[in-house]
Amino acid sequence: MKTRFLFFSGKGGVGKTSVSCATALHLSKKAKVLLISTDPAHSLSDCFGVKIGGRMKGIRKNLFAVEIDPAMAMEEYMEKMVSKMPNHKLLEQIGGGFDMASAPGIDEIAAFDKFLQFMESDEYDYVIFDTAPTGHTLRLLSFPDVLESYIGKLIMLRMRFAGIAGMIKKFLPFGEEGGEGTGDAIEEMKKRIEKAKKIMASRQVEYNIVLIPEEMSIAESERALEAVKRHNIRACSIIINNIIPENTQCKFCSAKRKQQQERIREIKKRFRGMRITQARLFKEEIRGFGMLERLASELYKP
């Protein structure tokens, strides 16, 4: 089967990493899974209780993980870019000099270059993304559109400064080696951008929103859902996390649970038509394989 890409996103502190790790552990029992953290504040290592880091690591049979290091991704990308651009001083002739490391958006281009590498891989049955808080994630997912617009501007620049556009293929992650000239490089980039957009809009991609039954989390999730739909990305499920179990012996717990139940009814109305999964709040911290198995049993009941 084609690789399926699962994104888990949401407001900070709602339990995206726990849900991502539990899902990866659950799926790895029957399929080969790669779990990727794109959140600079990585916590996969803490969640599994296993040191992971910026290099691919096997943590259990069929389960692999990596925490993308933005600084490492930037360094790798800059090395690759500089090695391909021996004539980059040409850009200085435009005026104002050209410092590639400080070029606007270059850090995000580097991150997306790494992101695209995983998106194009067919080595795994599932690739799961534990993402940064909502705003950063949506910016990453919308990057093909941003680059497409960026390329349009560069094509216009080509009309004014002959030869500069021919360097595009060495500057962006979509360029390939080879080709007869500038036009070929641009066309090749456009093809790769279209491929990325096609993958993101296909049924290979599932976008899952993790939230807690509180108004601020619900409101942010609604905004995220609207943005995802604008980019033609398939939003599949809402995961309501940290639901307080019933406890008649605790007045505070009962009052809080009553408030949460009202929010859950609201969630079902506001996200009507989407698959909704609920996971209770555990008294223990979700850390280590044992607790992740317990969370997975809540999320993926037979």
Q: Residue 200 has what pLDDT? A: 79
> Does the structure show a pLDDT above 90 at 190?
no
d(CA 189, CA 183): 10
Residue 237: what pLDDT?
A: 94
CATH number at residue 68: 3.40.50.300
* Domain presence at residue 275: yes
Would you say residue 236 lies in a domain? Answer: yes
**Which pLDDT band, with edges at 50, 70 and 90, does 104 fall under?**
very low
CB burial class (10 A; 0-12, 13-18, 19+) of residue 256?
A: middle
**41, part of any domain:** yes
Residue 84 forms part of a structural domain:
no
| pLDDT of amino acid 180 | 46
Q: Supply the pLDDT for residue 302.
A: 75
- The model carries a pTM of 0.78
Q: How does pLDDT run across 266-295, given as a tens digit for each residue?
A: 999 999 989 999 999 999 999 999 999 999
Residue 161 lies inside a defined structural domain of this protein? no
Q: For residue 263, tell me if it sits in a domain.
A: yes
Q: Quick check: 110 and 103 in contact, CB under 8 A?
A: no
What dihedral do alpha carbons 264, 131, 32, 232 form, nearest 10°?
80
Structure tokens at 278: 């609920």
If one counts the domains in the chain, the total is 1
Q: Which residue has the higher pLDDT, 2 or 154?
A: 2
Domain-embedded: residue 111: no
Cβ neighbours of residue 95 closer than 8 Å, sequence gap 6 or more: none
- What is the average pLDDT across 39-44? 77
Return the pLDDT at 137: 56
| Mean pLDDT to the nearest integer, 241-250 | 93
pLDDT value of residue 86: 47
Q: What is the pLDDT of residue 168?
A: 52
| Amino acid (one-letter) located at 39 | D
Of the candidates 41, 138, 153, the one whose C-alpha atom is nearest the C-alpha of residue 104 is 153
Give the model's pLDDT for residue 231.
79
Average pLDDT, the chain: 78
170 within a domain of the structure (yes/no): no
Share of the chain above pLDDT 90, in %: 41
The yes-or-no verdict on residue 115 having pLDDT over 90 is no
Do the beta carbons of residue 210 and residue 182 sit within 8 Å? Answer: no
Average the pLDDT over 216-235 and give the result.
Answer: 88
Scan for tokens 């002959």, then name that residue. 162
Domain that holds residue 214: 4-74+123-141+204-299
What gap in Å lies between CA 247 and CA 131, rounded to an integer? 33
Q: Bigger pLDDT: 297 or 134?
A: 297
- If you ran DSSP here, which 8-state letter would residue 87 be given? T
CB 19 within 8 A of CB 220: no
| pLDDT value, residue 232 | 81
Q: Which helix (H) or strand (E) holds 210?
A: strand 205-211
Residues 6 or more apart whose CB falls under 8 angstroms from that of 126 comprise: 3, 4, 5, 6, 24, 27, 31, 32, 33, 34
Q: Which residues contact 251 (CB under 8 A, 6 or more apart)?
A: none
